Amino acid sequence: MTHGITVVPPGFGKLHITELLLDYTGTLSRDGALIPGVAERLTALARSVNITVLTADTFGTAADQLKDLPLDMHIIGSGRDKEVFLSRLEAENVAAIGNGRNDAGMVRMAGLGVAIIGPEGCAGELVAAADIVCRDICDALDLLAAPLRIKATLRD
């Protein structure tokens, strides 16, 4: 049972994150391989939140790369599939992280949306939809591990 991550940025409203939705290709991985440091961070965060990876799996490696991690993975066909998945959850309790154009709707809908400017770049549409933009996935996951960083970034 997860407890969630709570933070109250002044002027933003209370965030109580119980679900973490992640893109794989370009967000958690580079050329299909998990980025160093991601597995350890996801394992630690899984003690607090439920983690789901939603991916088109461009390189066909996601299942193998993620097999030993405490998370669920779903293959999707489009960004709309990510939005439909999120719509089944309490959106205000979801943190969504991605780097691609197909992540924009999911990030916009989530209680906390984070864009990653990772090794494959980041779609401009996604940057406009995000609450926070990070230079890489490790920085983004560290925000959730140290939620006062979120407070500092989103406060009025």
| Domains present along the chain, CATH in parentheses | 5-154 (3.40.50.1000)
- Positive or negative torsion for Cα 59, 142, 41, 22: negative
Distance CA 12, CA 116 (A): 21
The phi, psi pair for 75, rounded to 5°, reads -80, 130
CB atoms near residue 84 (< 10 Å): 14
Do 44 and 5 form a contact (C-beta atoms < 8 A)? no
Distance CA 29, CA 3 (A): 27
Q: What is the mean pLDDT of the chain?
A: 96
For 27-61, write each residue's pLDDT tens digit: 999 999 999 999 999 999 999 999 999 999 999 99
Do 18 and 6 form a contact (C-beta atoms < 8 A)? no
For residue 2, the model assigns a pLDDT of 61
For 124-135, write each residue's pLDDT tens digit: 999 999 999 999
Residue 118 has pLDDT above 90, yes or no: no
For residue 119, the model assigns a pLDDT of 83
Mean pLDDT of 5-22: 95
For 63-85, write each residue's pLDDT tens digit: 999 999 999 999 999 999 999 99
What is the DSSP secondary-structure string of the chain? ----EEE--TTT--EEE-EEEE--BTTTEETTEEPTTHHHHHHHHTTTSEEEEEE--TTS-HHHHHTTSSSEEEE-SSHHHHHHHHHTS-GGGEEEEE-SGGGHHHHHHSSEEEEE-BTTB--HHHHHH-SEEESSHHHHHHHHHSTHHHHHHH--
Q: What percent of the chain has pLDDT over 90?
A: 94
For residue 1, the model assigns a pLDDT of 47
- Output the pTM of the full model: 0.96
